[in-house]
Structure 1
Amino acid sequence: MKQTRKTTAKTEILDLIIRSEIALSHSEIQLSLDGLCNRVTIYRVLDRLIEEDLIHKVVNIDGGVKYASCHSCSTTHNHNHVHFSCQKCKSVTCIEGVEPFFELPKKYKVSDVNFTVSGICPQCC
């Protein structure tokens, strides 16, 4: 894991993502930061946080990208879990503790998994 310097933007973005119950898009993060930094800085910070394994990227059913933090990481850190995308409120939630299972033919090496389930969340039922 590569260590980098802490900046106000990095600290605020990480805190925002950690506090959020749902995955956040770049535009949601930018809106919440209320002018703290520009959109390019936000992208750079998000890339750095992913590289440092502090957050993970979620590709939604519609192809949109959101960012989330593990809230229950134990000694075995794993971002390969199920994500739930609500068709009604458009929220994306990490469903930790549920890892997708799949089997690929031999000679395929998986480096990352993005498993999204779509439906209606408990708040919208």
Structure 2
Amino acid sequence: MVRETLLRSGVDPTERRVMVFEAVAGAEGAVSAPELLAALGGSMNKVTLYRILDLLVSSGVLARHTGPGRTAHYCLGRGHGHFHCTRCGRCICLGLEDANLERLAGPELAGLGRVEDVELRVEGVCRECLKS
């Protein structure tokens, strides 16, 4: 399935690209490159990881968005928002999918052209941090 997804996007499914895709897909929410490096357990260096992430984003396989402190986070899909916890730094993907893009962008943008992506970041304190 992973290899087919990459091939459909025009990406050669090398072992490392598959590893990065699977790490992002298996993460709970959007993840940063340092989190991915830790999850991959030293199986690749930072430069290689960033090159793979750039390729997967440019091919549309992954989405990149800006988190707190201007840190890039990566997840599957486009056009949905993210909740960032200001205490623990956790990034949670929100259920705002492509069907909501035009509504999120607002009708006033309709005259400017076709909306293809919206980046929405909500900040607050997650449930886990509120418990402690």
The TM-score, its normalising length taken from structure 1, stands at: 0.80
The unaligned stretches of length 5 or more in structure 2 are: 1-7
What does residue 124 of structure 2 align with? 119
| Seq. identity, % | 25
Matches within 5 A, 1:88-103: 88-97=87-96, 99=100, 101-103=104-106
Q: What value does the CA root-mean-square deviation take over the aligned residues?
A: 2.1
| Distance in 1 between residues matched to 2:90 and 2:124, nearest whole Å | 11
- Tell me by how many angstroms 1:110 deviates: 4.2
Bigger fraction of residues in helix: 2
Q: Which amino acid aligns with 2:122?
A: V
| Distance in 2 between residues matched to 1:36 and 1:22, nearest whole Å | 22
Matches within 5 A, 1:41-120: 41-70=48-77, 79-97=78-96, 99=100, 101-103=104-106, 104=108, 106-107=111-112, 110-120=115-125
| Distance in 1 between residues matched to 2:62 and 2:95, nearest whole Å | 13
What does residue 7 of structure 1 align with? 14
Aligned residues: 117
Partners of 1:60 and 1:85 within 8 A in 2: yes
TM-superposition CA deviations, 1:65-107 (whole Å, max 9, x none): 111124xxxxxxxx11121000111011110236461334533
| Distance in 1 between residues matched to 2:39 and 2:27, nearest whole Å | 11
| Distance in 1 between residues matched to 2:76 and 2:13, nearest whole Å | 18
Matches within 5 A, 1:2-41: 2-41=9-48
The unaligned stretches of length 5 or more in structure 1 are: 71-78
